[in-house]
Homo-oligomer: A and B are copies of this chain.
Amino acid sequence: MTDFAKTRAQFHLPPGVIYLDGNSLGPLPRSAEQRVTHCLNAEWGQQLIRAWNKAGWMALPRVLGDKIGALIGAGAGTVVLGDTLSIKVFQALAAGLALNPGRRIILSDDGNFPSDLYMAQGLLGLKAGDYRLKIVPPEEIAASLDEEIAVLLLTQVDYRTGRLHDMESLTRKAHDLGIVTVWDLAHSAGALPIDLAGCDVDFAVGCTYKYLNGGPGAPAFIYVAPRLKDRAQPALAGWLGHAAPFAFDLDYRPAAGIERMRVGTPPIIALTALEAALEVWAAVDLGDIRRASLDLGDLMIREVALHCPALELASPSEHSLRGSQVTFRHKEGYAIMQALIERGVIGDFRAPDAIRFGLTPLYIGRDEIKAAVAILKEVLDGRLWDRPRHQTRAVVT
């Protein structure tokens, strides 16, 4: 049984703030400062270049990849860290297309995070011929799968509404039709149990600064199925994905396994902050996280329905369809969120009218949800968004 009082104590949460935006940027783990200053002083400062080996820097993307793998149902040696999520999407899509050379279509949905779609567009712009990106509403994905599609690119949890795709059934249906699957776990890794190996997913990618609390702009990760990891062709053929990076050959030869998805020199300081953040998961059961997060969501939906009738629920209420956030719509959503933030309740806004609240049992409990809804009621009842105390603009990712 996960002890949420203990996990909560591992984070710094500023007094007077109810933080419901951990789906955008997780809070600071208390152990991060010590680990990062150790990296700066004892490793970089004292060991200098020697730290690449002595301090284990060179292996860090793989070592942390295994730790993240354990949270997403991926075996050791199938996940590696590096770059940003957008870059990892590009890698997975390029490799996926190459595995399906006779086909020309990437299928995705209009609830996908736009950067995933943009990276697909950029990739297809490089490839000559009649490649195209087909975008349909999320609920039409299953019916849109056919034998013309090369790659299915989906984000498991919708960044706006929290709507959850069924990874298992969509992956199975895709495979039945010979389609390669790329799952983006940005809003699900660390938020709910995921079984990549069990679902036989081909590629998965994700970021580590949301539910994994790795810090602003923390490195991304990529998973490649064991059956593909020696076949997937790296399009971003960087030297650290080479079979022998320090041989300095003039020709690229991909490394065996997941290492080939490494590109350039890894961001060590950021990786050490993430390393600290991942410690919390040792004592956490993702089933407990899921149960607690759904409970927080149910509570928020119920309380809002009761006290804030002006808000329209945009998230599915059914558990099997909902990730780890709840979203409401209101035409004054932007101003309402500003008024909330000024009063210490931090969620975020997504154009045109969505206010989002991330539910993160690691450090948020029922009391905070109730307190947040009480403040939300105050803002709505008093139309407090009409009288902003000062102008701020939340920019969130």
Known: A25-B48, A216-B265. A395 touches B273 (CB 8 A): no
- Residues from chain B with a CB closer than 8 A to the CB of A114 are 239, 242, 248-250, 252
Known: A128-B127, A265-B85, A270-B270. A234 touches B122 (CB 8 A): yes
B270 touches A49 (CB 8 A): no
B266 and A217 contact, CB distance less than 8 A:
yes
* Contact status of A52 and B216, CB under 8 A, knowing A85-B264, A269-B273: yes
A396 CA to B54 CA, complexed, in Å:
12
Interface pick from A66-74, A320-328, A344-352, A371-379:
A344-352
Task: Check A264–B36 contact: CB distance below 8 A.
Answer: no
- Does A257 make an interface contact (CB < 8 A)? no
List, in ascending order, chain B residues with CB within 8 A of A266's CB.
Answer: 216-217
CB distance from A344 to the nearest CB of B (A): 11
Contact, CB under 8 Å: B24 / A44 = no
Residues of B close to A113: CB separation below 8 A: 239
User: Contact: A45 with B58, CB < 8 Å?
Assistant: no
Q: Does A209 contact B (CB under 8 A)?
A: yes
A50–B395 Cα gap in the complex (Å)? 7
A86 to B238, CA, bound (A): 6
Q: Which residue of B lies closest to A249 (CB)?
A: B114
Chain A residues numbered 247-264 whose CB sits less than 8 Å from any CB in chain B: 247-252, 263-264
When the two chains form their complex, are residues A269 and B28 in contact, meaning their CB atoms are under 8 A apart?
A: no
Among A2-20, those with CB < 8 Å from B are 12, 14, 17, 19
Docked pose: A218 CA to B264 CA in angstroms: 11
Report if A191 contacts B (CB, 8 A): no
> Given B87, B216, B238, which contacts A263 in the complex, CB threshold below 8 Å?
B87
Binary contact track A345-370/B, C-beta < 8 Å → 1, others 0: 01010110000000000000000000
What is the CB-to-nearest-CB distance from A342 to chain B, in angstroms, rounded to a whole number? 11
Is A129 interfacial (CB 8 A cutoff)? yes
Give the residues from 96 to 136 in chain A that come closer than 8 angstroms, CB to CB, to chain B: 110, 113-115, 117-119, 121-123, 125-129, 135
Say yes or no: B50 contacts A341, CB within 8 Å: yes
- A347 CB to nearest chain B CB (Å): 9
Q: Which residue of B lies closest to A121 (CB)?
A: B252
Given A33-B41, A122-B235: A263 touches B84 (CB 8 Å cut-off):
yes
A128 to chain B, nearest CB (A): 4
Q: Is the CB of B346 within 8 A of A268?
A: no
Measured CB to CB, the closest approach of chain B to A391, in angstroms, equals 11
Chain B residues with Cβ below 8 Å from A85 are: 264-265
Some 15 contacts from A to B, beta carbons below 8 A apart, are: A12-B45, A14-B45, A36-B37, A37-B37, A49-B346, A83-B83, A83-B84, A115-B238, A118-B237, A119-B237, A217-B264, A217-B271, A218-B267, A265-B397, A267-B270
Knowing that A125-B237, A267-B270 touch, tell me 10 more A-B residue pairs with CB under 8 angstroms: A28-B41, A33-B40, A50-B394, A57-B216, A84-B263, A94-B126, A118-B239, A122-B252, A218-B267, A269-B273
